Structure 1
């Protein structure tokens, strides 16, 4: 492979890295930088990839303005048996980005032209600055300033982080004058954000049979609650024939989880409109506020080019491993559903996933693991770790789920999935029936007595 308008190679970590990242931040499609590969595409590798990864994160955090946190992702990979680093850079919403020490000048601003990062003309700098998005959740002052963040701190602790006293500043939850912004309000223990999951009897909105309300709390918690609720609704129907055990979910669980998280992270909250989740007899509709981000075409959207609408939320969801990496969500949905599942308007994006006909025809759970096993029941198991509970919930949603599907859904590798499943089995909560062609059976009753 050769360098392109979206791909840059660097043999080693050098002083010019920030320049290349800024060029991609200012480019409408973003881009990818590989460290450990030369200009001709030859792999040299990095002797200390882990150390370089920490240096890169620190440099991009401190040397680029406006803040690029939440707009880049650093992934460790192997090429020809050698360690390299892949830096995924999204197109930034607050152009022009620049080197902190040179400010918004031709010496500090860069743009991607062809396969090179070139100085940005002053006229372009002035035009971009005039268009800079000011009405974002980071710049809107929260209506309340007596906010607390116990839930958010717990989620960070569970993910191995310890939020210090400066967490609000570090997570960009403050306005320029030091007050809590709207991102902080969404992530606080208490707010007025209400998320609804509605369920209808038929294929229209006439007969509402269930309306669940989540929210008024940390947006991360609300997201997890919606994921759990929809997972319960995504029943696994089982039909046992003389030859095999056939199972079908209403919707693909991996695509469904990605769609829910995408709706929360990329929703336009500036008008206090929240995502909406509606379950019909023949489909599920997930609607988020805000059309395509400015400058992003439908083709670029489907190809996974990332223009995070709410970089503060993106950064936190990535920290908490709800998001795997920038730009990965939409391509993973498209592995299971076509582009026709997406409908764009000026103010909204709706994803519609048609229910699996096999699951509808069975008319309910007739066997298998899901009968009676709820997310709340799994959460109540003190003997399991947080990650083991997440694995068990995916198995509860689909008793024939593969190691690879669990790994993709949780953003971890298959060997880690194997270790978690072994631990769950050893604790007596999981039994394998029928060998490699069989299914999982969950046993909670005797363990919860």
Structure 2
């Protein structure tokens, strides 16, 4: 840098440092995660050049600090040189925007305490949503295989499921399943199976055919194993059994929704969700139907016709492979055909709605009395409020194993609830 060059003020893409230190390393991370920038070492915060005693030593420290202390490798995006300001030697570090964001301090990992972004003239920790956005924008690998923002994960529920199936779940197995990457960091697949997973499922029961009045609602978070079991039992609680008698006075019992179909629909909700998008999956029960809404449209290259034929393109292949190994799913691509077969002779067929970022499955009730025949209001249903457990065929008839492991974290509210929901439990 030529002598006599006027000193700029610090800003979005410029920062001054008296010497190279850990603060300078944070600034490099922030520049790489933002729009790039320049660090001038040997200049006071007010822009006054003070110089660097040993330029070569300072350049070496900067090079080693960036090489050893920042991940992913940032070397090709950094240029380190020397210059002169007001007759005093300085070191200039130019940082270009990186293509493998988020960049982070290696000793802190890809979490807010290790990931920095530039805001004005300062470098600040990135929020978790900002980190996830960087991962979505720049990742070259599926969401499952990217590094989890949360590295403090536990697996009580998952360990219980693997133990019940007689499958080891130690460090080696977690690595082979894709829960741990080559650097020993937990992946997002591990986060989905962990007790800390926040990609929740919200379930609610409504009066009538709209969402004006609800009678119950809960939100399930934690391991996907616990979420599935929790929401399955919730749906079962409100899945009524109705009895009719034939000409020979033999009783015929039928539930509003076949338990096997409910199981397939909920498994599809878990397996095919786009977990890179924030927001809960939704399960809504009405007097005449059940709606399941999921983030993520059809995978790229797949059509609605393909889906109806049972063609399957896995959005989360690692998760699907684990559930197949645990015998939660029988085979890929059988869920939709099973649902259609159950409604083969039904007067109202299931509905499928697809957008770019969402998928909605509508299951009609099997009991015609639950549906108005003249478009009028729905009659009151005897199932609400319902007993804690129906005395007829229950969920365990299709899911015989006892529940175990960590239960899904949930909160409930609504008329008839004896205990108030904990503060800040369920965002409304």
Match of 1:209 in 2: 215
Cα RMSD after superposing both structures: 3.0
Work out whether 1:220 is the aligned partner of 2:225. yes
Match of 2:43 in 1: none
Please give the alpha-carbon distance, in whole angstroms, between the structure 1 residues aligned to 2:272 and 2:286. Answer: 24
Work out whether 1:374 is the aligned partner of 2:389. yes
Please give the alpha-carbon distance, in whole angstroms, between the structure 2 residues aligned to 1:326 and 1:133. Answer: 26
Match of 1:10 in 2: none
Please give the alpha-carbon distance, in whole angstroms, between the structure 2 residues aligned to 1:247 and 1:374. Answer: 17
Work out whether 1:364 is the aligned partner of 2:382. yes
Q: How much does 1:143 deviate?
A: 1.6
Work out whether 1:188 is the aligned partner of 2:206. no
Match of 2:176 in 1: 170
Work out whether 1:279 is the aligned partner of 2:285. yes
Match of 1:352 in 2: 362
Bigger mean CA deviation after superposition, 146-155 or 337-346: 337-346
Q: How does 1:33-432 map to 2 (within 5 A)?
A: 134=140, 136-215=142-221, 217-240=222-245, 243-337=249-343, 341-358=351-368, 360=370, 363-364=381-382, 372=387, 374=389, 395-396=393-394, 409=398
Structure 2 length normalisation: TM-score? 0.53
- Could you list the per-position Cα deviations for residues 17-47 of structure 1 after superposition, in whole angstroms to 9, with x for gaps in the alignment? xxxxxxxxxxxxxxxxxxxxxxxxxxxxxxx
Q: How much does 1:270 deviate?
A: 0.6
Indicate how the Cα distance of structure 1 residues 143 and 263 shifts in structure 2: closer, same or farther if over 3 A, else same.
Answer: same
Q: How much does 1:267 deviate?
A: 0.2
Indicate how the Cα distance of structure 1 residues 159 and 143 shifts in structure 2: closer, same or farther if over 3 A, else same.
Answer: same
Please give the alpha-carbon distance, in whole angstroms, between the structure 1 residues aligned to 2:350 and 2:383. Answer: 29
DSSP 3-state at the match of 1:238: strand
Q: How much does 1:176 deviate?
A: 4.7
Alignment gaps of 5+ in structure 1: 1-131, 376-392, 399-405, 411-416, 421-449
Could you say which structure has the larger radius of gyration? 2
Q: How much does 1:161 deviate?
A: 1.2
- State the number of aligned residues: 250
Contact 2:291–2:363 (CA<8 Å) still a contact in 1?
A: yes
Alignment gaps of 5+ in structure 2: 1-137, 372-378, 402-428
